[in-house]
Amino acid sequence: MVDLPKAGDKIPTENFHVSKSNVRFDVPFGLTEKDKQLEDNLKFNKIKIPIHARPEGDGYGVYIGKGRLEGRRKYTTHLIVGEEVLFFDISEEEARIASFIENNEYLKKNMDSITYAENLNRIVTGSGGKLRATARRLGIAASTLSEYLTMLEGLPSTKIRSVIRKYGVPFRGKGGGDPHSAFGLAKLNLGKERLDELAEVAEEDGIQALWQQIDFMVTGKQKRGLPKDAYDVYRVTWKKANKFERQYSENISLAAKNKEQTEVEYIKRFLIDHMKEIEEDTRP
């Protein structure tokens, strides 16, 4: 049992840091108008709603009340236990859940759908996969929690997740089946390789090019594939009946897996490096 500071104790602000279990750990403070108003208020006033902290390392990690800590510590050297700060001897996972619950409304409005879903998934996993119990604990509907987890399952490609983050693709569009949304795209169950291809389209030609591809796939107006005349495509086939070709194909798959790439990514990278070598050899 850890001995925690007692009510009335004055704890130096230098003993506090923002805990990594705080869901706003990486969110800069002081950039928004709301942050500036909070800081102005704390310039002459004590913290009214106590921050929550836990023993971490050589000090105390604040898992609830990052903004209050950041705004107040500029104008004081100590925080009063019981008035401005409360201490709890809880685990990192319990702190993360408490922080998520405290900031849930903020997160839903300000965090991208992928990161929000990944946070939910981390909490569910830490709770032994008990979806309904976790939903009650977080104060959200079990069906909503299930949809976010379904989205992650349907988007196994880290590349497409990065595109969704980059372009701010909403969780839902005009409805649950809207393919121009993260949830709608996940429900298409395209698989990692196809999603990787679509991510490359978005990175090279923009998000509208990706939606164009999705529209073609959903309506059936065009076969799945890249935009016409936008790419050069070289198709390589390996005859399985030929033991030598089959061995080369298996070796490529193994080499790609070792580099955590798809076969297409591995072959493309190999050819680019090969062409660079040729260019170097032909230079005067």
The yes-or-no verdict on residue 222 having pLDDT over 50 is no
> How large is the average pLDDT for residues 273-281?
79
| All structural domains of the chain with their residue ranges | 10-94, 111-219, 243-281
- Is residue 55 classed exposed, middle or buried when 0-12, 13-18 and 19+ CB atoms within 10 A define those classes? middle
Per-residue model confidence as pLDDT tens digits over 52-89: 999 999 999 999 999 999 999 999 999 999 999 999 99
Model confidence, pTM:
0.60
Which fold does the domain 10-94 belong to in CATH? Answer: 3.90.1530
The yes-or-no verdict on residue 248 having pLDDT over 50 is yes
What's the pLDDT score for residue 224? 44
The yes-or-no verdict on residue 262 having pLDDT over 60 is yes
What's the pLDDT score for residue 260? 67
Are 161 and 198 spatial neighbours (Cβ–Cβ below 8 Å)?
no
> How large is the average pLDDT for residues 220-242?
64
